[in-house]
């Protein structure tokens, strides 16, 4: 899970909160109002996901694109006119590179099927 901002969560819950929202444990230790119930960690996570339902998904896709771009950059040499590859090998690399570009068309960033790099 993405690191949640406890201060935002507590504010959205309409609670006074704590002196410190740095970690859940620190929040509990410094809770301001002893008469106000302290939300559980699960309640905080649920509220965070309610406020920002797509943030984790967007972060995952960003990581996938970063990895994909790294693989593309590492294989740029295969498409140069003076590369030592045969026409058949170059075609295999072109296919691989297109499959890399298509990775972001997959439905689930947690279960990416990466193409196999040509030999």
Query: pLDDT tens digits, residue range 8-50?
Result: 888 888 888 888 888 889 889 999 998 999 999 999 988 888 8
The 10s digit of each residue's pLDDT in 54-111 is 777 888 898 999 999 999 999 999 999 999 999 999 999 999 999 999 999 999 999 9
Confidence at residue 19, expressed as pLDDT on a 0 to 100 scale? 83
38 plus 10 within the same structural domain? yes
59 plus 46 within the same structural domain? no
Which residue carries 């699960």 as its tokens? Answer: 42
Tell me, yes or no, whether 99 lies in a domain: yes
Tell me, yes or no, whether 115 lies in a domain: no
Report DSSP state, residue 106.
S
Tell me, yes or no, whether 28 lies in a domain: yes
65 plus 101 within the same structural domain? yes
CA distance 101 to 75: 12
Instruction: Determine the structural domain holding residue 31 and report its residue range.
Output: 6-51
83 plus 64 within the same structural domain? yes
Q: Which residue has the higher pLDDT, 93 or 119?
A: 93
60 plus 47 within the same structural domain? no
Beta strands in the chain (DSSP E): none
Q: From 86, 81, 12, 97, select the one nearest 49 (Cα to Cα).
A: 12
Does residue 3 register a pLDDT over 80?
no
Q: How many folded domains does the chain comprise?
A: 2
47 plus 63 within the same structural domain? no
Confidence at residue 1, expressed as pLDDT on a 0 to 100 scale? 43
């Amino acid at each position: 899970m993405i690191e949640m901002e406890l201060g935002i969560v507590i504010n959205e819950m309409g609670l006074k909160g704590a002196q410190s929202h740095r970690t859940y444990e620190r929040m509990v230790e410094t809770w301001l109002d002893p008469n106000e119930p302290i939300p559980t960690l699960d309640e905080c996570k649920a509220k965070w996901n309610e406020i920002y339902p797509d943030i984790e998904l967007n972060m995952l896709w960003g990581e996938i694109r970063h990895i994909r771009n790294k693989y593309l950059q590492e294989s740029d040499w295969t498409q140069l006119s003076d590369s030592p590859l045969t026409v058949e090998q170059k075609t295999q690399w072109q296919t691989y590179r297109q499959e890399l570009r298509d990775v972001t068309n997959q439905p689930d960033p947690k279960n990416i099927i990466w193409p196999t790099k040509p030999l």
